[in-house]
Structure 1
């Protein structure tokens, strides 16, 4: 079976967020070709040619389906995993094969003449918190006072000098197992002795001033459409980091202030991204403070709790019925 004029969905085997988009595209009658880059090369065959300025043409095929590469209308780049190679290959051979797959297979996909959500190179750049904090400030959004350091003395001076509590945040999600139990590292308010602990010298650490909060807001932006939901924390843990206790959360649709709308649109324009999941703290006085933006963030829990039509907006973008073209870099 050949799939033409399709949306290519690149993601892993378990991805409820991608499932929402695929189900909506199926409902609309839009062809979908779902694949994981881990299937390459054993379960995914690639054959593509270039002849002049017309662009790349050819196929991407599994045992059951074939995708016409020249007719891909959009790529939904979610959470694909790395290509897998036979264990019989030597480590050196796997290293070479992996590099060739990244530049050959991945490079071909990036050369397709279609829109991406999000463009993977730009999304990777935007995931660097120091970069996005700078762009947020340049875009007119308020950001917390922040220190990045591996110097315990500098961390201690920051924590005592800001005149309010300080918070530690990991740069990337940290999850794993410890003694057979799942564990995760969330944002935490520093206690006495934490800020100048010798372990700070082992790597880069991010510290910020604590921002008093009435609630937080997840503001999901799809091209020029904004979907804002208040997140109210009803436990001590969730008050510090709402991701640590989803069961305690309640949600409410809200309208962002005009200056926030302008700021997030300006920020996505500077990042050259069509999508962003923004997190804000809203103070008791109503002031919004930017915390971070995820260029490929989850949104299903917000849509389920509030009914905001985020999936439909994503599908509109992938179908090309709205918005601006965004190509990978």
Structure 2
């Protein structure tokens, strides 16, 4: 017999954020089936047929079986890509990857259940140009921004701003340099460097620097919001708090009503139900939108403040409230 109301969790096997939600669902005795897309097709077997107006079948590992008609919700938490036999030719692998995305992924998209968040919408929301435009349309205050590969345009932008600029990567850049872990964070830009020919090699995002007394991480789960001030006491942390977690202190806060309304509209327009929003708060108390991560981590905030973010996620996946 199918387990009633199973939550399907699609996440990497080593994902502390997914672990928090699964532990809470287990505590509530809500059935959970965890899998990583990387297990398909070698260790995850799909068997589904269209019967009437709905899909019926199973998703199985060598230990457990999930009945598709029992899925109440899907928690999509950065799963890995499908893994294929090592001896598969590059040409065959390319075809198999596409078929897996359209077949396996398409079947999951066809299930009549709630997602946190729909993978296509979440992927679109990763685009910073899109989220900045949507946030501005939703009434949030967005710093002046330039995207360019033209050094002359970058210099003109700096002159028009008339103050400090920052550079931001479009996606987190992490790796190993000379045997040591390295990452690219938000960086203050010297206007003299804007003539560098490397700017022409790809798209760059430049933004006016926002003077701030602190930043805020606002985690939104459906209609519920959990906001925390992040204070830092290091030079690097004041530019980008992600560069120095050890310097943080946290304080729970409430977003201004107009910011809360803008966050709700941004989520609605992006079509996602979870977002980790970052704001810079100026000395005048203005909240300036920096970005939203549709699958951002929240455990560090919850651990420091006790805010019930995991419970809100479990509520959503369980179908309790919105």
What TM-score, normalized by structure 2, do the two folds share?
A: 0.98
CA RMSD after TM alignment: 1.0
Say if 2:2 and 2:70, in contact at 8 Å, map to a contact too: no
In structure 2, the residue matched to 1:131 is 130
**Alignment correspondent of 1:36:** 36
Structure 2 partner of 1:182: 181
Q: Residue 273 of structure 1: CA displacement?
A: 1.3
Indicate conservation of the 8 Å contact 1:268/1:276, yes or no.
Answer: yes
- Corresponding position of 1:296: 295
Q: How does 1:113-124 map to 2 (within 5 A)?
A: 113-124=112-123
d(CA) in 2 for partners of 1:61, 1:27: 24
Deviation of 1:216 after TM superposition, in Å, equals 0.2
Gapped regions of structure 1 (runs ≥ 5): 324-329
Asked if 2 retains the 8 angstrom alpha-carbon contact of 1:3 and 1:33, the reply is no
Structure 1 residue 4: deviation in Å?
A: 4.2
Answering whether residue 50 of structure 2 is matched by residue 50 of structure 1, we say yes
Give the secondary-structure state (helix, strand or coil) at the position aligned to 1:193: helix
* 1:64-83 alpha-carbon deviations (Å, 9 max, x no partner): 10001011000000011111
Alpha-carbon distance in 2 for matches of 1:202, 1:131: 22
Residue 327 of structure 1 corresponds to none
Question: Structure 1-normalised TM-score?
Answer: 0.96
Deviation of the 1:192 alpha carbon? 4.2
- The match for 2:267 is 268
- 1:98 match: 97
Does the 8 Å contact 1:234/1:249 carry over to 2?
yes
Native 8 Å contact 1:3 1:65 kept in 2: no
Q: In the alignment, does 2:25 pair up with 1:6?
A: no
Please give the secondary structure, in 2, of the residue aligned with 1:194: helix
SS in 2 for 1:252: strand
C-alpha separation between the residues in 1 aligned to 2:193 and 2:185?
Answer: 15
CA contact (8 A) 1:222 1:314 kept: yes
Q: Does the 8 A contact of 1:3 with 1:66 survive in 2?
A: no
Q: Is the 8 A contact 2:221 2:274 kept in 1?
A: yes
**1:27 alignment counterpart:** 27
Shift of 1:271: 1.2
Alpha-carbon distance in 2 for matches of 1:89, 1:213:
53
**Does the 8 Å contact 1:233/1:242 carry over to 2?**
yes
* In 2: Cα distance, 1:153 partner to 1:267 partner: 33
Separation (CA, whole Å) in 1 of partners of 2:112 and 2:195: 51
Q: How many residues align?
A: 322
Match of 2:141 in 1: 142
Contact 1:49 1:57 in 2 (8 A): yes
Q: Is the 8 A contact 1:4 1:67 kept in 2?
A: no
Which runs of 5 or more residues in structure 2 are unaligned? Answer: none
Secondary structure of 1:164 counterpart:
coil
Retained in 1: the 8 A contact 2:158–2:191?
no
Task: State the alpha-carbon separation in 2 of the partners of residues 177 and 23 from structure 1.
Answer: 32
Counterpart CA distance in 2 for 1:183 and 1:173 is 11
Aligned-partner Cα distance in 2 for 1:32–1:3: 9
The whole-number CA distance in structure 2 between the counterparts of 1:92 and 1:2 is 38
Q: How does 1:82-231 map to 2 (within 5 A)?
A: 82-231=81-230
Displacement of 1:13 after TM fit?
1.4
Residue 193 of structure 1 deviates from its aligned partner by: 2.1
Q: Distance in 2 between matches of 1:248 and 1:194?
A: 29
Paired with 1:4 and 1:38, the residues of 2 have a C-alpha distance of 26
Q: Distance in 1 between matches of 2:18 and 2:180?
A: 27
Residue 17 of structure 1: aligned partner: 17
The runs of 4+ residues in structure 1 deviating greater than 3 Å are 1-4
Question: Contact conserved, 2:155 with 2:191, CA < 8 A, in 1?
Answer: no
Q: Which shows bigger deviation, 131-140 or 185-194?
A: 185-194
Question: 1:161 Cα deviation (Å)?
Answer: 2.2
For the residues of structure 2 that align with 1:160 and 1:102, how far apart are their CA atoms? 46
Instruction: Output the CA distance in 2 between the equivalents of 1:113 and 1:285.
Output: 46
